[in-house]
């Protein structure tokens, strides 16, 4: 048994170690005493100018030049042929699932370690999520876990549909997520999905500016989605985008996002149940100004990640780096502790001392609305949630 003296000595050591980390973060952000948030937006370009132009033009709503310009910019940045602007990342996911052919009562495979919006969008489409594990190095869906679950639980029928043998329902899509901007092994995921005739939608909400080789995240699957919420790499207040190389799907997504209105000079004709999911011009103006600064913001965030990486190299805490051959946007820098006990102590200490840190999300299987969903072995996800912490990652002016 450890003596009281040893325990208190260990506690002292831990507090010293955490104190040094706080000091390092305060130095990096040149913020000796004030509160340091996890991720705050940076408006250093044409934001006010474009917003003023929008107000002056009166085109603040869902029609306007900035919406079109935003879509063009997203095509250029990601290299996708088509981009469709949406009100947020959740609606971008919902639309993508619908145009990929997901129907009520069907099932969609996603990862247990993700933000709740990924699963919610599946539910909004009337489908049921199935949860598989993540890889330890990139925190995105594991192709091994995906294959394992499919091999045990799914079959392909004579119509080339993937069927869940347990429920008899069709599995209509696979929805992996690039966690914290770290690109996942999407090519391996797509190989598995091809064998099972599953379309892949990439939740790239967190990975604007992240690449696998030369290709942007979100361009590997049938569709990819982004979010421009207030805490993302860049923001337009609220906003999202769907990208794809498929013209038919892009047109369908835009049609559904604009109340499924049939174009006509004056008639109100709508040919299916649509949604009011189109991004307002006001938000698009902000998005355009932000996207103009994306290269500078990414470079700034990369230099922050370098500083963190250098610091944690000499500690027993691991800084999660981009996989070889990939470029992360380092949206939220992530460290990993050796034990849950230390993770919790660190979260407590930093948040009590004016430095905001956060654990990864609770696993989806722990949330009441998804607790009964099917899942594979989640060993990595369970291991990681007990050790991961996100540390301050804002742009430093
Ligand atoms: C932010 C986020 C979303 C949803 O984006 P909103 O714009 O907030 O609707 C979806 N998935 C992931 C992984 C996210 O981080």
Please give the average per-residue pLDDT across 204-211, as a whole number.
Answer: 98
Query: Looking at ligand 1, which atom is closest to the CA of residue 93?
Result: 10
Instruction: Pick from 205, 290, 361 the residue to mutate for probing ligand 1's pocket: most ligand atoms within 8 Å of its CB.
Output: 205
pLDDT, residue 63, reads: 87
pLDDT, residue 10, reads: 87
**What are the structure tokens assigned to 268, written together?**
């109100």
The pLDDT tens digits for 127-177 are 999 999 999 999 999 999 999 999 999 999 999 999 999 999 999 999 999
Which residues approach ligand 1 with their CB closer than 6 A?
A: 88-90, 114-115, 117-118, 177, 203, 205-206, 227, 229, 240
Q: Whose CA is nearest to atom 2 of ligand 1?
A: 205
Q: What's the gap in Å between 71 CA and the centre of ligand 1?
A: 18
- Cα–Cα distance measured from residue 388 to residue 304, given in angstroms and rounded to the nearest whole number: 18
Strands annotated E in the chain: 82-86, 107-111, 128-132, 154-156, 162-164, 170-175, 201-203, 211-212, 215-216, 223-227, 240-244, 318-319, 326-327, 333-336, 358-359, 388-391
pLDDT, residue 190, reads: 98
Contact assessment for residue 201 and residue 221, using Cβ atoms and an 8 Å cutoff = yes
Q: Is the pLDDT of residue 220 over 90?
A: yes
Instruction: Pick from 95, 117, 224, 230 the residue to mutate for probing ligand 1's pocket: most ligand atoms within 8 Å of its CB.
Output: 117
**What are the structure tokens assigned to 393, written together?**
């990652």
Q: What's the gap in Å between 178 CA and the centre of ligand 1?
A: 11
- Give every CB contact of residue 32 below 8 A, 6+ residues apart in sequence: 26
pLDDT, residue 1, reads: 61
The pLDDT tens digits for 240-271 are 999 999 999 999 999 999 999 999 999 999 99
The pLDDT tens digits for 164-177 are 999 999 999 999 99
- Cα–Cα distance measured from residue 316 to residue 314, given in angstroms and rounded to the nearest whole number: 7
The pLDDT tens digits for 32-80 are 999 999 999 999 999 999 999 999 999 999 889 999 999 999 999 999 9
Q: Whose CA is nearest to atom 4 of ligand 1?
A: 89
Q: Is the pLDDT of residue 377 over 80?
A: yes
Q: Whose CA is nearest to atom 6 of ligand 1?
A: 89
- Res. 5 pLDDT band, cuts 50 70 90: confident
Of the candidates 182, 102, 185, 204, the one whose C-alpha atom is nearest the C-alpha of residue 145 is 185
Q: What's the gap in Å between 287 CA and the centre of ligand 1?
A: 16
pLDDT, residue 214, reads: 97
- Give every CB contact of residue 52 below 8 A, 6+ residues apart in sequence: none
Greatest alpha-carbon span in the chain: 83
Of the candidates 137, 244, 148, 246, the one whose C-alpha atom is nearest the C-alpha of residue 189 is 148
According to DSSP, residue 200 is labeled B
Q: Is the pLDDT of residue 235 over 90?
A: yes
Whole-structure pTM value: 0.97
Please give the average per-residue pLDDT across 86-96, as a whole number.
Answer: 98
Would strands 201-203 and 223-227 be described as parallel, antiparallel, or unpaired? parallel
- Res. 205 pLDDT band, cuts 50 70 90: very high
- The CATH code of domain 47-290 reads 3.40.640.10
Q: Whose CA is nearest to atom 14 of ligand 1?
A: 205
Number of neighbours of residue 48 by Cβ within 10 angstroms: 12
Give percent above pLDDT 90 in the chain: 96
End-to-end Cα spacing for the chain: 50
Query: Looking at ligand 1, which atom is closest to the CA of residue 178?
Result: 13
Q: What's the gap in Å between 91 CA and the centre of ligand 1?
A: 9
The pLDDT tens digits for 178-198 are 999 999 999 999 999 999 999
Instruction: Pick from 115, 176, 231 the residue to mutate for probing ligand 1's pocket: most ligand atoms within 8 Å of its CB.
Output: 115
- The CATH code of domain 11-41+293-391 reads 3.90.1150.10
Cα Rg of the chain (Å, integer): 22
Q: What's the gap in Å between 89 CA and the centre of ligand 1?
A: 5
Delimit the domains of the chain by residue range.
11-41+293-391, 47-290
- Res. 6 pLDDT band, cuts 50 70 90: confident
């Amino acid at each position: 048994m450890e003596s009281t003296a040893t325990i208190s000595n260990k506690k002292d050591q831990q507090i010293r170690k955490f104190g040094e980390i706080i000091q390092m973060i305060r130095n990096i952000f040149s913020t000796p005493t004030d509160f340091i948030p996890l991720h705050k937006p940076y408006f250093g370009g044409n934001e006010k100018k474009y917003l003023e132009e929008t107000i002056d033009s009166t085109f603040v709503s869902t029609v306007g030049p900035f919406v079109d310009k935003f879509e063009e910019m997203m095509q250029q940045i990601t290299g996708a042929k088509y981009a469709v602007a949406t009100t947020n990342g959740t609606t971008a996911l919902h639309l993508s699932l619908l145009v990929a052919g997901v129907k009520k009562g069907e099932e969609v495979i996603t990862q247990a370690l993700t933000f709740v919006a990924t699963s919610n969008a599946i539910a909004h489409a009337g489908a049921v999520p199935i949860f598989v594990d993540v890889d330890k190095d990139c925190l995105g869906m594991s192709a091994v876990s995906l294959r394992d679950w499919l091999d045990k639980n799914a079959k392909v029928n004579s119509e080339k549909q993937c069927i869940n043998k347990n429920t008899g329902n069709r599995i209509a899509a696979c929805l992996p997520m690039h966690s914290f901007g770290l690109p996942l092994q999407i090519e391996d995921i797509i190989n598995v999905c091809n064998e099972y005739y599953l379309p892949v939608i990439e939740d790239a909400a967190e990975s604007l500016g992240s690449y696998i080789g030369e290709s942007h995240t979100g361009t590997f699957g049938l569709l990819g989605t982004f979010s421009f919420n207030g805490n993302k790499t860049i923001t337009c207040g609220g906003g999202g985008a769907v990208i794809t190389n498929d013209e038919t799907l892009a047109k369908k997504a835009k049609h559904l996002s604009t109340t499924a209105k049939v174009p006509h000079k004056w008639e109100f004709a709508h040919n299916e149940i649509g949604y009011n999911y189109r991004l307002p011009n006001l938000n698009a103006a902000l998005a355009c100004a932000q996207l103009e600064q994306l290269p500078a913001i990414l470079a700034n965030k990369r230099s922050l990640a370098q500083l963190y990486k250098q610091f944690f190299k000499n500690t027993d805490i691991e800084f999660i780096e981009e996989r070889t051959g990939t470029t992360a946007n380092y949206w939220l820098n992530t460290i990993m502790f050796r034990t849950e006990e230390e993770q919790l102590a660190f979260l407590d200490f930093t948040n009590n001392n004016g430095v905001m840190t956060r654990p990864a999300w609770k696993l989806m299987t722990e949330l009441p609305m998804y607790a009964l969903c099917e899942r594979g072995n989640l060993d990595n996800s369970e291991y990681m949630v007990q050790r991961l912490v996100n540390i301050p990652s804002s742009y430093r002016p």
